[in-house]
Amino acid sequence: MIPVIIVIVVIFIIGAAIAGLYNNMVTLRNRIDNAWQNIDTQLQRRGDLIPNLVETVKGYAAHERATLDAVVSARNAVSAATTPEDKMAADNVLTGALRQLFAVAEAYPDLKANTNFMQLQTTLEDTENKISYARQSYNDCVLNYNNAIQTFPGNIFAGIFQFKERTGFEAAEAARDVPEVKF
């Protein structure tokens, strides 16, 4: 009778450990999804601000059409992206286009003094900060999840339960460059 009880206890402990590992992986995966939703919310907020910003700039810098078109095109690409990877790539393009737009705006003192433009720029900068924080949180969640599914014994159960590695958010090389303004 004692050997049967020992076997049952061992099976219970192993089952509890497997359940704990599985539940941990599910929790980490859900944190990634939640972190992505936070990024997506901030991207939508920024996307909603861009038409107002472009309209404000149009009145002052009408001959900067290429820059304005690039911002609108990049915003539309972010809105049209369906996967997180596509949205990340499109967002990197939009970030670069916005940096170029603000660099161009520096050449127009009347625009920089415009209350509407200043308010939009402040709101957009606040949103950019929130996006940056959300990206950092997302990358932290991805790191924790990937560590859990790649280390022993999680890697064994990750394969069994089909937990796949996730990709973190990386800034494009172009987003790291300082925009060049030519007149």
Is 31 contained in some domain?
yes
Give residue-wise pLDDT tens across range 130-139: 999 999 999 9
Is 183 contained in some domain?
no
User: Which residue do the tokens 């280390």 mark?
Assistant: 151
Q: What pLDDT, on a 0 to 100 scale, did the predictor assign at position 104?
A: 83
Is 182 contained in some domain?
no
pLDDT > 70 in the chain, percent: 93
**Contact criterion met (CB below 8 Å) for 42 and 127:** yes
Q: What pLDDT, on a 0 to 100 scale, did the predictor assign at position 183?
A: 38
Is 43 contained in some domain?
yes
Q: What pLDDT, on a 0 to 100 scale, did the predictor assign at position 181?
A: 47
| Residue span of the structural domain in which 161 resides | 2-176
Residue 171 has pLDDT above 80, yes or no: no
Calculate the alpha carbon distances from 155 to 53, 109, 112 in Å: 48, 58, 54
How far is the C-alpha of 141 from the C-alpha of 25, rounded, in Å?
A: 11
CATH number for the domain harbouring residue 155? 1.20.1440.20
Number of separate domains in the chain: 1
Give residue-wise pLDDT tens across range 62-77: 778 888 899 999 999 9
Token duo for residue 125: 């900068």
Alpha carbon 144 to chain centroid, angstroms: 16
CB under 8 A, 24+ apart: contacts of 117-124: 117/53, 117/56, 117/57, 117/60, 120/49, 120/52, 120/53, 120/56, 121/53, 123/49, 124/46, 124/49, 124/53, 124/98
Q: What is the DSSP string of 16-50?
A: HHHHHHHHHHHHHHHHHHHHHHHHHHHHHHHHHHH
Give residue-wise pLDDT tens across range 18-59: 999 999 999 999 999 999 999 999 999 999 999 988 888 887
Q: What pLDDT, on a 0 to 100 scale, did the predictor assign at position 167?
A: 93
The size of the chain, in residues, is 183
Give me Rg for the CA atoms of the chain: 24
**pTM across the whole model:** 0.81
Name the band, by pLDDT with cuts 50, 70 and 90, for residue 173.
Answer: low
Give residue-wise pLDDT tens across range 145-168: 999 999 999 999 999 999 999 999
Q: Is 170 helix (H, G, I), strand (E, B) or coil?
A: coil
